[in-house]
Structure 1
């Protein structure tokens, strides 16, 4: 979650580097930093895991993924006319699938379809329909209508939703860090949205 929360900051960086018209104000950048700080506070107790050497390769891949996601977001938002949403989603899913199959082929880590249980298939169905087709299509649509920096704050909302759902549905404990981090994160999101509205005016 902490690494994923780097996406808005990377998007801001690529927006500054790639856009001729730099639609990022000081307050908007401050909002992104505040939002990231809030996410770090929410997961403060897990920061030590980032220093675990056994997770180093995975951490590098995760950071590379966030950089790629941020660059792709800014690049897609600058396409005129906008790329067809379904084509965009389908192409990226196809490429991702090929990469995953290639990695599985190299590592030899395949899972037999017969060993996948009903609950797992239901989870896969949910991820395909809601987590990929609907959510990602909505994301591509939004970056064609709104500034990438404004859209990127979804990465700050996701951890908050996860924490609240865990508290409500799974009776997970809500500690001071989570409450404080949520308040700080929402403050950052508010700053970004307010500055985005000012730029439109």
Structure 2
């Protein structure tokens, strides 16, 4: 039987696995060229529903903390991710995003007092290598603004995870998740209107199904699992699980869309999964020295 910690790891891993499926949903069901609208549709409606269900609003310092966390985990993260994906090949953006576990480990050392071990560092570097092999292409071109945005998206997400760990909400999990989704959606709203304009005049049944999937599965299901994992697991263990997204996205592209999978990509997937497993191992306890009486 799974231990309680193992069960939490598996349920937390469902969140990035679900986010890996959103690439397929976005490309196959949603209007083209509207990634920010997809992010907005995922965050804001889900947040409103969760707040309505829990009937709980922030109080005191949690008004501004919800805004900060919602901006970091959702609003600024998706905006920067969009800029990076728009100006860089997807493989480059995903590889830079794989730096998130190392960034989170560094921030956790300063803000949470967690120790950054050699094993964490090596697993983080292996994760970047694995994602690079999985998604990076030799024809990839670099862009300074795109690189800055991709690094920024990894940094704000890592900061959001660490601060979510540091700031423990007194409210139920679903309420806290709703606050962040609403805050992140409100941050995304003016950016979406400015960059992409108003929503398309015509919305098909497939579009509605895609948006419903993003709202219900991609946000209302995935984010509570993610934030629960942040509260229950070590910071680095949680952030390494985010590397599952490109693995799931690549696997679905191969299984559903018939995209080719090279041997190097398969090796990259194995390296990523190995890094995930290593990052979840508990550090060995040091033996206490014998005291002579």
Q: CA contact under 8 A between 1:76 and 1:82: conserved in structure 2?
A: no
Once residues 207 and 284 of structure 2 are traced to their aligned partners in structure 1, the CA distance between those partners, rounded to angstroms, is 46
Higher Rg of the two aligned structures: 2
2:119 to 27, 31, 42: 27
What corresponds to 2:172 in structure 1? 84
Task: Give 5+ residue unaligned stretches, structure 1.
Answer: none
- State the TM-score, normalizing by the size of structure 2: 0.60
Q: CA contact under 8 A between 1:76 and 1:83: conserved in structure 2?
A: no
What SS does structure 2 have at the residue aligned with 1:48? coil
Change in 2 beyond 3 A, CA 1:10/1:82:
farther
What corresponds to 1:122 in structure 2? 209
What SS does structure 2 have at the residue aligned with 1:33? helix
Once residues 142 and 18 of structure 1 are traced to their aligned partners in structure 2, the CA distance between those partners, rounded to angstroms, is 18
1:136 to 218, 223, 239: 223
Residue correspondences, number: 192
1:156 to 243, 247, 251: 243
What corresponds to 1:6 in structure 2? 99
> Per-residue deviation at 1:81?
5.8
Once residues 5 and 16 of structure 1 are traced to their aligned partners in structure 2, the CA distance between those partners, rounded to angstroms, is 19
What corresponds to 1:103 in structure 2? 191
What SS does structure 1 have at the residue aligned with 2:106? helix
Q: CA contact under 8 A between 2:95 and 2:136: conserved in structure 1?
A: no
What corresponds to 2:48 in structure 1? none
RMSD of Structure 2 on Structure 1 (CA):
2.2
Q: CA contact under 8 A between 1:44 and 1:177: conserved in structure 2?
A: no
> Per-residue deviation at 1:121?
1.0
- State the TM-score, normalizing by the size of structure 1: 0.84
Once residues 102 and 130 of structure 1 are traced to their aligned partners in structure 2, the CA distance between those partners, rounded to angstroms, is 24
What corresponds to 1:38 in structure 2? 130
Change in 2 beyond 3 A, CA 1:59/1:121:
farther
Task: Give 5+ residue unaligned stretches, structure 2.
Answer: 1-93, 286-293
What does the per-residue CA deviation read over 1:119-177, in whole Å, with 9 as the maximum and x for residues that have no partner? 11111110111111111110000111100100111222221122222222222111022
Once residues 23 and 44 of structure 1 are traced to their aligned partners in structure 2, the CA distance between those partners, rounded to angstroms, is 31
What SS does structure 2 have at the residue aligned with 1:76? helix
Once residues 83 and 73 of structure 1 are traced to their aligned partners in structure 2, the CA distance between those partners, rounded to angstroms, is 18
> 1 or 2 for the larger relative contact order (CA 8 Å, sep ≥6)?
1
Once residues 107 and 161 of structure 1 are traced to their aligned partners in structure 2, the CA distance between those partners, rounded to angstroms, is 29
Q: CA contact under 8 A between 1:77 and 1:148: conserved in structure 2?
A: yes
Once residues 276 and 208 of structure 2 are traced to their aligned partners in structure 1, the CA distance between those partners, rounded to angstroms, is 35
What corresponds to 2:109 in structure 1? 16
Change in 2 beyond 3 A, CA 1:78/1:198:
farther
Once residues 280 and 180 of structure 2 are traced to their aligned partners in structure 1, the CA distance between those partners, rounded to angstroms, is 28
Bigger helix fraction: 1
Larger CA deviation: 6-15 vs 119-128: 6-15
